[in-house]
Chains A and B, each alone.
Chain A
Amino acid sequence: GAVVSQHPSRVICKSGTSVKIECRSLDFQATTMFWYRQFPKQSLMLMATSNEGSKATYEQGVEKDKFLINHASLTLSTLTVTSAHPEDSSFYICSAAISGELFFGEGSRLTVL
């Protein structure tokens, strides 16, 4: 069964609004989670490392004020896309490690109209 779950799986929003995506570790605690972004027919690109109880670490070129990450508990990390624009439309995927192995969530497809 799934060990990492994302919600929602699909979301459509209007340009200018903010969207929150949740990533939960099921039955285990994850002090670190990772957020990836995947454009159609392209690879996964790491956006940021989410650290429980501290600030996220963003990869070069990723706007931290645009993509807000909160890791308030050991089982939940959230990614909020603020003031979304059509170019933010993408597939967002999180991952968490258990026993040294990384598991990925099901992904969340964001469409900004």
Chain B
Amino acid sequence: GQQLNQSPQSMFIQEGEDVSMNCTSSSIFNTWLWYKQDPGEGPVLLIALYKAGELTSNGRLTAQFGITRKDSFLNISASIPSDVGIYFCAGQEGAQKLVFGQGTRLTINP
């Protein structure tokens, strides 16, 4: 099946720093999604991208849908302690089926 390559796998940053993570795919997706998962919880949608080249912001979060439709990135500006968690990219196939990246574990030092 399809796989998404998400990097980096983990990040250790200082509070206030900006964060950038990305996903690449060997095939095209029509929709890219970014989720955050806290320990012991299900993923929560952060940003959804529907058009190639689309750049979307949600507060301190910004994500872009790559022109080739095979990649996407997520940026978090001015990180705060509550940003800690695991971030997953996901490409959406037909009928709402999602393929997830491996996740980026974000740790923030106060």
Name A's B-contacting residues (CB within 8 A): 4, 6, 9, 32, 34, 41-46, 49, 59-60, 91, 93, 95, 97, 100-107, 109
Smallest CB gap from B10: residue in A: A41
* Distance of A44 Cα from B6 Cα, bound (Å): 13
A-B contact pairs, 30 of them (CB 8 A): A4-B42, A9-B40, A32-B95, A32-B96, A34-B98, A41-B105, A42-B102, A42-B103, A43-B100, A44-B88, A45-B100, A46-B98, A46-B99, A49-B95, A91-B40, A93-B42, A95-B98, A100-B96, A101-B45, A101-B48, A102-B33, A102-B45, A102-B98, A103-B45, A104-B35, A104-B42, A105-B42, A107-B40, A107-B41, A107-B42
Name B's A-contacting residues (CB within 8 A): 1, 33, 35, 40-45, 48, 88, 95-103, 105
Classify the interface of chain A: helix, strand, loop or mixed.
Answer: strand
